[in-house]
Amino acid sequence: MAGGVRIFQLAKKLGLRSEALIAVLGELGISDVSAASTIDIETAKAAAELLAEQALGARAAREEEQAKVKADEEAAATAAAEAAKAAKAAEEAATAKPAEPAEAAPAPSVEAPAEAPEEEEAEEEQPRWMPQWADPSSLRSLEDQLAELEVEEAEALKDVLAPLPEMARRPSGDRPDNAIDVPPVVAVLGHVDHGKTTLLDSLRDTDVVASEAGGITQHIGASEINVGDGSIVFVDTPGHAAFTAMRARGGQVADIVILIIAADDGVMPQTAEAIGHARAAGVPMIVALNKMDAPGADPDRVKQQLLEYELVAEEWGGDAIMVPISALAKEGLDDLLEMIGLVAEVGEFWADPEADFVGIVVEAGMDESRGPVATILVRNGEVKVGDVVVCGTAHGRIRRLNDWHGKSVKAMGPGHPVEVIGLSEAVEAGEIMTSAENIKAAREITTQRGDEERKVAMEGTGRASLRDLQRALGDLDVKDLNLVIKGDVWGSIQALEQSLADLDSQLPEVEINVVHSAVGEVTETDVLLAVASDAIIIAFHTSVAGTGERMAADEHIEIRRYDIIYQCLEEIQAAMAGMLDPVFEEQVIGHAVVRQVFRISRFGVIAGCAISDGYAEKGAHMVVKRRREVVFEGKLSSLRHFDETVNRVDSPNECGLNNRDFRGWEEGDQIEFTMQIEIPRTGAFSRAN
Residue 487 sits in a domain of what CATH number? 3.40.50.10050
pLDDT at 409: 92
Give tens-digit pLDDT for 2-51. Answer: 456 767 667 766 666 667 778 888 887 787 676 656 777 777 777 777 77
CATH code for the domain of 435: 2.40.30.10
Domain boundary among 124, 159, 194: 159
| pLDDT at res. 357 | 92
The C-alpha atoms of residue 388 and residue 16 are separated, in whole angstroms, by 57
pLDDT computed for residue 650 by the predictor: 93
**Do 383 and 369 have their domain in common?**
yes
Please answer whether residues 246 and 239 qualify as being in contact, where contact means their C-beta atoms are separated by less than 8 angstroms.
Answer: no
Closest CA to 658 of 628, 676, 632, 630: 632
DSSP string, 31-49: -S--TT-EEEHHHHHHHHH
Tell me, what's the pLDDT at 166?
Answer: 67
Three-point CA angle 116, 118, 123, nearest 5°: 95
Which of 457, 482, 499 is the last residue before a domain boundary? 457
Assess whether 494 and 600 both reside in one domain: no
The pTM for the full model equals 0.48
| Residue 253 sits in the same domain as residue 319 | yes
Q: Is residue 687 part of a domain?
A: no
User: Above 50 in pLDDT, residue 139?
Assistant: no
- Would you say residue 172 lies in a domain? no
Residues 627 and 541 placed together within one structural domain of the fold = no
Give the neighbor-by-neighbor strand order of the sheet with 285-290.
222-227, 230-235, 185-190, 256-262, 285-290, 321-324
| 323-362: pLDDT as tens digits | 999 988 888 988 999 899 888 888 888 888 888 899 988 8
- Give residue 126's pLDDT: 41
CA distances from 50 to 27, 40, 43, 350 (A): 9, 16, 11, 49
Looking at 351, 372, 406, which one is the last position of a domain? 351
Range 552-579 burial, b when 16+ CB lie within 10 A, else e: beeeebebeebeeeeebbeebbeebbee
What does the alpha-carbon distance between residue 63 and residue 55 come to, in Å, rounded to a whole number? 12
Q: Is residue 689 part of a domain?
A: no
Between β-strands 638-641 and 654-658, what pairing exists: parallel, antiparallel or unpaired? antiparallel
Q: What percentage of residues in the chain have a pLDDT greater than 70? A: 72
Residues 295 and 430 grouped into a single domain = no
> Nearest to residue 426, comparing CAs of 386, 368, 513?
368
Rounded-to-integer distance, Cα 249 and Cα 277, Å: 8
Confidence band for 593, pLDDT divided at 50, 70 and 90: very high
Question: Do 285 and 244 share a structural domain?
Answer: yes
Q: Which ranges in 15-114 belong to alpha helices (H)?
A: 18-27, 41-96
Domain of residue 193, CATH code: 3.40.50.300
Give me the number of domains the chain comprises.
5
How confident is the model over 86-125, as pLDDT tens digits? 767 666 666 554 444 444 444 444 444 444 444 444 444 4
Chain centroid to Cα 235, Å, comes to 27
The answer to whether 190 and 261 have CB atoms below 8 angstroms apart is: yes
Do 139 and 21 share a structural domain?
yes
Nearest to 182 by CA among 352, 14, 51: 352
Does 512 fall in a domain?
yes
Query: Do residues 470 and 462 touch, judged by C-beta distance below 8 A?
Result: no
- Give yes or no: residues 193 and 253 share one domain: yes
Q: Express each pLDDT in 393-410 by its tens digit.
A: 899 999 999 987 788 999
Task: Encode pLDDT of 206-219 as tens digits.
Answer: 443 333 223 333 33
Q: What is the CA radius of gyration of the chain?
A: 39
Q: What is the mean pLDDT of the chain?
A: 76
* The pLDDT of residue 673: 95
Q: State yes or no: pLDDT of 476 exceeds 70.
A: no
pLDDT of residue 206: 42
* Cα separation of the two ends of the chain: 26
Do 192 and 335 lie in one domain? The reply is yes
Considering the domain architecture, whether residues 15 and 140 belong to the same structural domain is answered as: yes
Is residue 169 in some structural domain?
no
Phi, psi of 88 (to 5 degrees): -65, -40
CA dist., res. 479 & res. 388, Å (int): 46
Could you tell me which residues come within 8 angstroms of residue 41 by beta carbon, excluding any fewer than 6 positions away?
Answer: 3, 4, 5, 146, 149, 150, 153
Alpha carbons 171 and 184: distance in angstroms, whole number: 13
Domain region containing 407: 358-457
464, pLDDT greater than 90: no
How far apart CA 466 and CA 63 sit, in angstroms, is: 38
